[in-house]
Amino acid sequence: MEKNILTGIKPTGQLTLGNYLGVLKNLHEMMDRGNCYIFIADLHALTLPIDPEVLRNNSRDIAAFYLAAGLDPNRCALFLQSDVSAHAELNAIMQNYMYMGELSRMTQFKDISSKIAAKSDAKDAHIGLGIFTYPVLMACDIVLYDADIVPVGEDQKQHVELARDLVVRFNHKYGDILKMPYPEVRKVGARIMSLSDPSKKMSKSDPKGDIFLKDDLAVVRKKIMSAVTDTGSEVKYDKENKPGISNLLTIYAVTKNMSIEDAEAHFVGYRYGDFKREVADAVCEDLGAFQERYRKIIESKEYERVLKEGAEKARVVANKTLKRVKEAVGLLTL
Ligand code: ATP
Ligand code: LTN
């Protein structure tokens, strides 16, 4: 039977080269592998303060980015999480089956809440409930579509593991109701690091060292040319001792669809400067074509129809799961 593949992306900021290489570039392969559900996790974006107009624009952008990256709306469902009410409904049920202890052990929650708590201004130091219960909603996103495979970056693996715990717990109590999902973290490009500090993930909420997908190509080139490198002069993949060079090699390999070994072999004898120039050429060529497609999609508003039709397809599947769960726990479905 065909596998169900589900992934979500939070519209909290400008997408980065990390999102592009880690997720968007794998769309083709993903559609070949199974039934794909791809959604914009806009409810998750509300877990930290965000300006309404920024949220709206980010959501539109993400839809257009997915289409520009080659997503075929006839072969998958692309939709807004908030447009399929079953996510929020299932969340209201599932929050009773996850525990405060396990949620408080989540790395993302610990990181974010400690940052908020450390804020100097006490009035900004409130930690919303949503960031704490984030993994409950995420588990609902996953089980609603009977997802077999959940492609995520390394940082989100822990949340998918928790969704698996929930499935075991729920099914143990009510029978075989929920499907068991598997997190899938890609090897190459799974974690693109910051260009200014290669010990940190390139992340849209930490914009230093980022390349944004909407950056001017001249800016992209400049950022790559001034990326932090390491001591020594050899272009070699060695994450421990050469994190900066290893990151640039990863970026090159994923951009060119080649293995790290092949990329390394290609750069034997190169100096850092020439190496960076070639990485910049590769990224700019790829990103330039991508940006052109994105602009056309935004102008034509093609994303609106795609999102509406995607939500219709998603609702059919999600509502079936929701009904199964409601019946299992004893809610009357009339
Ligand atoms: P934030 O910093 O706000 O957590 P993010 O940049 O990590 O945001 P998400 O919306 O959390 O982005 O993630 C979207 C998808 O992109 C996820 O699958 C995530 O793991 C992946 N991703 C994010 N950053 C990177 C990165 N630097 N390298 C590879 N994949 C990434
Ligand atoms: N938490 C994820 C986004 C996300 C997601 C999901 C990913 C929300 N729900 C379900 C996979 C499956 C993130 O921050 N990247």
**Alpha carbon distances (Å) from 155 to 22, 111, 189, 233:** 12, 12, 13, 31
Contact at 8 Å (CB) between 31 and 71?
Answer: yes
239 classed as catalytic: no
317: which strand partners? none
Beta carbon of 21 within 6 Å of any ligand 2 atom? no
Residue 201 is among the residues annotated as catalytic for this protein: yes
Q: H helices of 23-156, where?
A: 27-33, 42-45, 52-68, 86-94, 100-104, 107-117, 129-144
Residue 156 beta carbon below 6 angstroms from any ligand 1 atom? yes
Q: Has 119 been annotated as catalytic?
A: yes
Residue 143 Cβ < 6 Å to ligand 2 = no
Residue 94 to residue 174: CA distance in whole angstroms: 13
> Which among 10, 25, 204, 242 is annotated as catalytic?
204
Q: What is the pLDDT along the chain (334 residues), one digit of tens a residue?
A: 899 999 998 999 889 999 899 888 888 889 999 999 999 999 999 999 999 999 999 999 999 999 999 999 999 999 999 999 999 999 999 999 999 999 999 999 999 999 998 887 777 789 999 999 999 999 999 999 999 999 988 889 999 999 999 999 999 999 999 999 999 987 665 589 999 999 998 887 666 789 999 999 999 999 999 999 988 899 999 999 999 999 999 999 999 999 999 999 999 999 999 999 999 999 999 999 999 999 999 999 999 999 999 999 999 999 999 999 999 999 999 9
**What's the predicted TM-score (pTM) here?**
0.88
